[in-house]
Structure 1
């Protein structure tokens, strides 16, 4: 992707914009029933992405509560972690609206839908800001993890894993993830610094996956780059 393509992409995405929903900020305080993870297969500096226009479109999507923008560390991929008021609206988002974003860039993309109700207790125990946890500290980085491991979350022994995670250097809070239909288990974790996030993703988490005999997927994101864009989308990581 070249810099010359950016204005054209911005124009294409701008054409999708509808007036922002007056209920968007009101809805942002609701308890989520579903989470969505997205990542678009592009590499572009975040300040060149048309996030202002995209924000206005996303605020109008049915059931949207909040979004945390993501910029891949070293890869500069662009994505997001979203909360929705229902699984139905989360599915609608990934099947009806979201494909229009990467289509405008002419690239492939990745989406995942997760059941937020199934993981509420375990996430509460890890201070998840999506369920009312403290927002006193701004994150320096995010880590997304997903195990190639299928188990209904109510059968997963999350308590001992939480105890171990609470000892992880730099981990501020965690949202557990349970894949809709797949029952994959993962997490979206906030860290105080990029170095601590990288240590977890590169060193600690692979050890956990090895104990389970499972392949895994990890991504590290620099939270400082996307703070302004995330604040505009009511991200609960910023007070």
Structure 2
């Protein structure tokens, strides 16, 4: 088994996970082990992952405790227990571009503790207007995060820069040192980033790490609801899972 593991949390993603798996198989760097953490799906997500003809080892782990934080934390800790020293994550509704993992590995082996990259909208879910709205919402949320007082308190070793949990890579040592991904409540990505910021300044951003992100939250929440979500105002009366 390789020292680099890619963890993909998944829940009821039978309609999309094959595209994610195809994108991982098309990476310029395929020297990794894939771990799909199925969050107790009922739609055959796990079976699709198990039968995927990949150029790398594929493992499927079932996490019955619901929540993406639970699935990610279980997957990362399982990979570490199996000898992983480098960890990368994307989600089962996302499409990493071919150079994604190579850029992540280069950053981590070059001294970074946490690598994050750029997210863009998938082209198969919304047209140009929807993708433009997505870009604007991400930019607004990123700016809000940098200015938010809670993200500028004493004790942080690095400035705040919004990162997407579906586009990140971290060393196993740092994952354990910072306490790992919070298992709940959702959303967990900001809490995790701030845990890392309290632990190290070795956080790097790579424009070569690009993941095409699902925009289905736009359809489920609308523009205003999606904006509130990205601005850390929660999902209101909606479920945190936009399926």
TM superposition score category, shorter chain reference? under 0.3
Name the one with the larger strand percent: 1
- TM-score (structure 2 length as normaliser): 0.27
